[in-house]
Structure formats: structure tokens, C-alpha cells
Amino acid sequence: MRCEFPTRAPNIRDERSLQEDIGNFSQGYNETLYSYFSRAQELLKRSYRRDAKTNGSSPLTPIETVVLSGIISAFLIGLEDYKIRITVLMKSTVVSGSLRTANEASEDVKAIIKSHYAQKWGRPLSAVLADIKNGHQARRQVLEAEVQVTP
């Protein structure tokens, strides 16, 4: 019981910082979904709360449910990929009860989008993105060479 409900009172400054972190929570530009999910779990731990009931654990208290709901919302709204975010948010009833379920739904949607892209274009999305990145780098090198040659 003491593990789930620490006896120390939270520092007001820490609580404000946590609320700001939840309010500003978003996935970084090149951050993997796994890394982003791990950061969301850290927010949950910092709030002295836990994810939805797993086998053998007690049900969530009302305050845990409210905090978990806020972190799930921040996680979903902060997803970098617009298509993944919108698709998962449209399934809100499926993912609303657990941070883990929200992450799994995001991973599933990401896999579906990649699969659809590969079927439509005949190449994996990652290969196209790598070509674009290499093309931009090659174009930049040509432009830099032209600038150096020009007096």
C-alpha cells in the first residue's frame, strides 16, 4: 500500500513543473515512437501514478484515472505524425483506458500506413525517405561546389 501511495507530500514547484511538462509533451522530430512512449511512462511515474490495471494489480483510484487520462491525451496529441495522430484519436474509445494501449494503437497505425505506402508505390516508405535525404544532401553538395567555383 505504501508503494502505491507515498507518504511524502509533493513539492508545489515539482507539481507545477510536472503539469507544464504534461502540457508541453510532444514527440521530437526524429524521436522513435518507443522513445516517446518511454518518456510518457516517465511522466506517469513522476506523477506517482500507474497505467491501467494489469493482471494481479488493484483497480485505479479516481485520481489515478484522471491523471492517466491527461497523460494519454498529451501522448496522443503530441504524436509527430499527423496521420497516426488523427487515426488513433478517431479510435479514442479503444485507447482511452491505458497508456500502453494508446502506444500499441499508434504502433499498429504506423505499420498500416507503411504497408499501404509499400503496396501503392512498390517501395518501403523508409527507402523513399532515405533517397530523399540522400538527394537533398547530394543537391546541397553540388550547390556548395558551384558557390566555391563562382568568383
Q: Is residue 2 part of a domain?
A: no
Q: Is residue 7 part of a domain?
A: no
Q: Is residue 5 part of a domain?
A: no
Q: Is residue 119 part of a domain?
A: yes
DSSP conformation letters of 5-46: S-SSPPPHHHHHHHHHHHHT----TT--HHHHHHHHHHHHHH
pTM of the model: 0.62
What is the total count of domains within the chain? Answer: 1
Please give the share of the chain, as a percent, with pLDDT higher than 70: 71
Higher pLDDT, 51 or 145: 51
Q: Is residue 4 part of a domain?
A: no
Q: Is residue 118 part of a domain?
A: yes
Which pLDDT belongs to residue 148?
52
Handedness of CA 131, 137, 139, 141 (dihedral sign): negative
Residue numbers of the domain that contains 132: 12-149
The predicted model gives 92-96 an average pLDDT of 62
Q: Is residue 137 part of a domain?
A: yes
Higher pLDDT, 32 or 13: 32
Which pLDDT belongs to residue 3?
58
DSSP state letter for 61: P
Q: Is residue 32 part of a domain?
A: yes
Tens-place pLDDT, residues 15-26:
668 788 888 999
DSSP state letter for 124: -
Query: What is the grid cell recorded at 55?
Result: 493482471
